[in-house]
Structure 1
Amino acid sequence: MSAPLLEIAANSLASALAAQDGGADRVELCENLGEGGCTPSYGTLARTRDCVRIPLYVLIRPRPGDFYYDEFERDVMLRDIEACARLGCDGVVIGALDADGHVDTATCRELIVAAGFMGLTFHRAIDVARDPAQALEAAIALGCHRVLTSGASTTALEGADAIAALVQQAEHRIRVMAGAGINAGNLREVAGRSQADEFHASAKALRVSAMRHRNGLLAGLDPDWQQSDREIVRTLRRTLDAVIRSDRPAAP
């Protein structure tokens, strides 16, 4: 099995730089992490591509909520993928379901054609699919390079055994990336139980606003925000490296 990789879900340019500086292997750029993530703005995408040297994948999701998209949303996703291609992004993170909870292969194929030679991750739509095992086979048949999954649970720790079942089912035909609620305190257990190839975390911490004037009466306009933290990424990196070392056979 290939060495496990660490991907950081970065909700801004600053988060992406923190991921890079902290030792992440790859960035998934997105926004609106509180609702599962959406596609970032063009400006965020373009500037991040300018600044980040590690592989940059972009979440293609036009809105929060379900993964059943109408023709207008499909067109938005296609245009976002075209923008990623023009900017030289390394990959896109996609997924779509039909109304019955099966992978919408027709929509996914359109997105994949638009992606061209970029890498392909099938996102956590697999976790809300009617049958995650069937959805995994669909992602493999579509030619995706990996799936991001929590094992159809709230967190990857809770779903670690289900992730392990997907890893066994995959039989090296696709990489399985564990994500949702991963932190330095549970990464070792998730890695050991899930046997996943890759690990996905936001590594976020509260950033306190420098504003001296504050109006605390307006709900939804809080001045502080969440952002990936370089030191948290470094701790995740060290933890994952320690897992790799402990699994490596001793020298004769």
Structure 2
Amino acid sequence: MTSSKHDGKGSTLLEICVDNRDGLQTAISSGADRIELCSSLASGGLTPSIGFMALAAKTSPLPVHALIRPRSGDFCFNAQDIAIMAHDIVAARSAGLAGVVIGASKEDGRLDLGTLETLIKAAGPLDITLHRAFDMVSDFTEALDQAASLGIKRILTSGGAASAPEAIDHLQELIRQGGDTITIMPGGGINADTVQPFIKMGAREIHASCSSPQGPTGKVADLGFSLPSERQTDPDKIRALKTGLLAV
């Protein structure tokens, strides 16, 4: 399955990030255009299991991109981390997913081009998104040019801020710089109430989780089998955001 893009009719593609089977089905039925597949949304998203990748490839009528992130924390990876990510990318290819979402940083925040080249080689024909490791850089123009030179199709970014709505001006400039060469996909804190400025500035794609907190209860919680900050994909939030995208 190939990854869809802006349809040329003025609409904006909506990518929804999900971390479990129910979230996947909710996103599909509520209006998502593409899925970012992960685990542990509460940790900012980690690599999904091979089983989840296989399920998504089999059941989703939408393009599915797997997040490749082996642990929480920063994006500075050692040789073992890189080997894990390369194997996970091969698993995504074998499952039949449309793409992968990758990123790697040097200690000073610059993109780790060597690691990215290794991961892109493992991905082969898969669609490549650079994730918010991009937000760690100090020179966005340099990083954008580097990503484009690697053949990366899009960059998921909050503009270097805690949330995209806090970096409207930076994101508008990145969209201008990216032009038709590389898609800038704003993400982080975007919902039906905050999306309009991004559409008006010409964002072709938007990323959101559209999730709500779901605190653990009962014995599962008592025994420590759930995170205190579990998230659940919310169909009403997806529909409201989709409506906002179509309203412009």
Q: Secondary structure at the match of 1:181?
A: coil
Contact 1:163 1:196 in 2 (8 A): no
Contact 2:134 2:157 in 1 (8 A): yes
1:207: how far off? 4.5
2:92 alignment partner in structure 1: 84
Alignment of 1:204 with 2:196, yes or no, is: no
1:218: how far off? 6.3
Q: Secondary structure at the match of 1:28?
A: strand
Contact 1:176 1:198 in 2 (8 A): yes
1:133 equivalent among 141, 150, 153 = 141
CA RMSD of aligned residues (A): 2.1
Superposition pairs of residues 213-232 of structure 1, within 5 angstroms: 213-214=218-219, 221=226, 225-232=230-237
1:249 alignment partner in structure 2: none
1:119 alignment partner in structure 2: 127
1:120: how far off? 0.6
2: CA distance, partners of 1:32 / 1:50: 21
- The amino acid across from 2:165 in the alignment is L
Summarize deviations over 1:199-233 as a string: whole Å, max 9, x none. 00101124477x7x447766774688321122221
What is the TM-score of this pair, normalised by structure 2? Answer: 0.90
Contact 1:5 1:198 in 2 (8 A): yes
Superposition pairs of residues 44-83 of structure 1, within 5 angstroms: 44-83=52-91
2: CA distance, partners of 1:51 / 1:90: 13
2: CA distance, partners of 1:206 / 1:102: 33
Alignment of 1:238 with 2:243, yes or no, is: yes
Q: 1:224 to 1:62 in 2, by over 3 A?
A: closer
Contact 2:67 2:102 in 1 (8 A): yes
Contact 2:42 2:230 in 1 (8 A): no
Summarize deviations over 1:154-201 as a string: whole Å, max 9, x none. 111111110111111112110110000111111113322x43221001
1: CA distance, partners of 2:202 / 2:192: 17
Q: 1:207 to 1:66 in 2, by over 3 A?
A: closer
Alignment of 1:96 with 2:104, yes or no, is: yes
Which structure is larger by alpha-carbon Rg, 1 or 2? Answer: 1
Q: 1:34 to 1:215 in 2, by over 3 A?
A: closer
1:182 equivalent among 169, 185, 190 = 190
> Which blocks of at least 5 consecutive residues in structure 2 are unaligned?
1-5
Equivalent pairs counted in the alignment come to 240
Identity rate, percent: 38
Summarize deviations over 1:19-40 as a string: whole Å, max 9, x none. 1101111000112222221101
